Chains A and B, each alone.
Chain A
């Protein structure tokens, strides 16, 4: 099995584990875990197109945020509930670990490069979700204005 397929399966299991830790309702477990798979799938697809951590993370976190917002409307639950388990595979545990292990071993060049990667991950995640949330907010406002004027005219 290639690493990508293993990663897609384990991103499901890992998100499921976190969904259990966050005590999601039983009927939301599958939805939250699938969010993790979509999020990591988006990351994998983007890395083949663009070579860079920042863009891939940005797209993946935007996908996770959009997924959470859309399904939150459908199941009528707060978006955070789904979003938190969907974003889990993007958390830069690996690069954080190598950053600090290279401090201990004293390899400053590697420490710097891993440190920058970790920061890029965090920046990518936050910018991705910020873009989706602001766009979602604006869309909702525009929809409301449209809806209200329509109802008033009737």
Chain B
């Protein structure tokens, strides 16, 4: 029989894990957990979060102290609807009139929501098509870039589960899309392969994670910031390697 305090802490860990995974800054996660704990009526709350782990220690009014930790294995997938809803949930909980059971139910509701697959494909196509035009391509480049954007999204769904980490995925997907673009552009001289590739690179560049990591470093979460920053540098290198290999294999520079 799990008593309410343990249930509560496990629920806190769930919320923290979900926030880290959906792309929140570490300081926000720690802040939210401390607020939730204090509004439950704890005497003292310590929360320590990393991109890969969360540690919470709560001291309750009756003197009992519970410490729990949870490992975060799956990587970052930015889902800002989820982040906003979790933020909202914690605000409502801190506002009062919510039991631990209700908090858990609300959490499960948010956890089960999946982003729309169609909109994700559409977003990939739109972003890569728009950026092919943005960097000076013509309308045909934009259409081809959008098609390869859809291919990248498809690979994200199908290849990611097979890869050990994000870097492997980036090498494979950038190689496949780079090769596809180079081969397609050989017989069609009105296409600019460089602009198409730039449009699709924008999808794979970890630009968002890099800014997030800088933010983490700036507010004092140096460990997480550095971890994420190094991950970004490695995946940019993987991206470059994948495309370079594709250009090499298809023969000559673009």
Q: Please report A residues at the B interface, Cβ cutoff 8 Å.
A: 3, 6-7, 10-11, 13-14, 16-25, 28, 77-78, 80-81, 83-84, 87-94, 96-105, 122, 125-126, 129-130, 133-134
Contact = CB atoms under 8 A, between A and B. Distances in A.
B83 A104 contact: no
Given A13-B126, A94-B198, A97-B201, A7 B83 contact: no
A10 B84 CA distance: 27
Nearest to A84: B208
B18 interface: no
A130 B133 CA distance: 30
Given A77-B84, A97-B243, A101-B194, A23 B79 contact: yes
A18 B84 CA distance: 17
A28 B198 CA distance: 27
B122 A20 contact: yes
A20 B120 contact: yes
Given A25-B84, A100-B240, A100-B243, A125 B211 contact: yes
Interface stretch (B2-10, B20-28, B45-53, B102-110): B20-28
Contacts, number: 162
B169 to A, nearest CB: 15
B39 interface: no
Give chain B's interface residue range (CB within 8 Å of chain A).
35 or more
B254 interface: yes
B131 A14 contact: yes
24 contacts: A7-B134, A10-B131, A14-B130, A14-B131, A16-B126, A17-B127, A22-B208, A23-B78, A23-B79, A23-B82, A25-B80, A77-B84, A78-B24, A80-B25, A84-B78, A93-B198, A93-B201, A93-B207, A96-B236, A97-B197, A101-B253, A103-B240, A105-B252, A129-B214
The 7 closest A-B pairs by CB, nearest first: A17-B127, A20-B123, A105-B253, A17-B126, A91-B207, A13-B130, A14-B130
A99 B198 CA distance: 12
A105 B120 CA distance: 35
A18 B127 CA distance: 6
A80 B212 contact: yes
Given A77-B84, A81-B84, A133 B123 contact: no
Contacts of A16: 123, 126-127, 130
A3 B136 contact: yes
A55 B19 CA distance: 34
Contacts of B253: 101-102, 104-105
Contacts of B247: 101, 104
A96 B243 CA distance: 11
Contacts of B101: none
B141 to A, nearest CB: 12
Interface in B209-254: 210-212, 214-215, 218-219, 236, 239-240, 243-244, 247-248, 252-254
B123 A96 contact: no
B244 A104 contact: yes
